[in-house]
Structure 1
Amino acid sequence: MTDIPQRPLIGIGTIVLRDTPGAVEVLLIRRGTAPEIGRWSLPGGKQDFGEGVRDAARREVLEETGIAVEIQALLDVVDMLPSPANGDRHYTLINFRARPVGGTLQAGDDAMDARWVPLTDLDDYNLWVETRRVIELAARHKS
């Protein structure tokens, strides 16, 4: 029997911000697959083998929301470590800030919903504390 070493999974998240009259909005998706099915989150997912992280970020946003983006900056890296709340899951989440450059908003791939949410309404979306933190970080550093 071979012991397979446990390793963290690499995940990509993208904070897509846009200005509208009277509000800054962030693009959120409602997860359609486990883990955290039904929870609101950032567009994102796993990096494919042989794919650059920025390419993965652009692909995941387009697949889940129909929105094409320009990556502006590497924003932050978040660790989700195994714990009673997370179970055995260990993710390293690479987060980018981006701006929309085209497309039509439509939930797709493994998102059950996608929408633009004013930053002032984030309390209504039960976001993971780290998701909320990186959204606020992106908003502070928006160019």
Structure 2
Amino acid sequence: MSMTDVPPRPVLGTIAVVCRHHGGQDQVILVQRGKEPNAGWWGFPGGHVEMGETALQAAARELLEETGVAARPLEYLTNVDVISRDVSGQVKRQYLLTVVLCEHISGAPVPDDDAEQAEWIAISEIETRGLQLLDQVAEVARLAQARWRELNR
């Protein structure tokens, strides 16, 4: 079977959710995408898992590449299915994103790689700041916040 005969498959990706408590608020790092797909939209730093690396390793690598922030991956938090379709309903692309909860080690978020902006955002303000959010960003942030609080009791 040639490569052209191989049916398209979902792509494995990962996102890094870095939590911290600062200034009386729980915060996460979000980035505004600078390139397609989803240019202009806000979400968590992340990208493709490369051959030979775990999704935990990929989350830390992508975070560093996109924001300059170093973090230690703690655990898998959940998965997010992303399926985009064209106007006729045909699947254009499909991703399975592993969500990795990370502990901040060093660095302030500075946009790099394919990020247009990168910053700490209060979880309580994610939905009220007028950001164009990718699917499930607020829900994942709240899930990460709850788990982060459990781990830091």
With normalisation by structure 2, the TM-score equals 0.86
| AA at the equivalent of 1:94 | T
**Partners in 2 of 1:77 and 1:121 — Cα distance?**
23
Number of aligned residues: 143
Deviations 1:49-87 (A, max 9, x none): 112211101000001011000112100011113434795
Q: Within 5 Å, which residues of 2 pair with 1:74-89?
A: 74-84=76-86, 87-89=91-93
Identity rate, percent: 33
1:138 to 120, 128, 144: 144
1:81 aligned counterpart, secondary structure: strand
Tell me if 1:53 matches 2:59. Answer: no
Q: Which runs of 4 or more aligned residues in structure 1 lie more than 2 Å from their structure 2 counterparts after TM superposition?
A: 1-4, 81-87
Aligned 8 A contact 2:56 2:75 in 1 = no
What CA distance in whole angstroms lies between the structure 2 residues aligned with 1:128 and 1:34?
13
Aligned equivalents of 1:42, 1:113: Cα separation in 2: 11
The unaligned stretches of length 5 or more in structure 2 are none
Give the TM-score taking structure 1 as reference length.
0.91
Pairs within 5 Å for 1:1-143:
2-84=4-86, 87-123=91-127, 124=129, 125-142=131-148, 143=151
Deviation at 1:111, TM superposition (A): 0.5
Tell me the CA shift for residue 104 of structure 1. Answer: 3.4
Cα pair 2:123 2:138 within 8 Å, conserved: no
Cα RMSD over matched residues?
A: 1.8
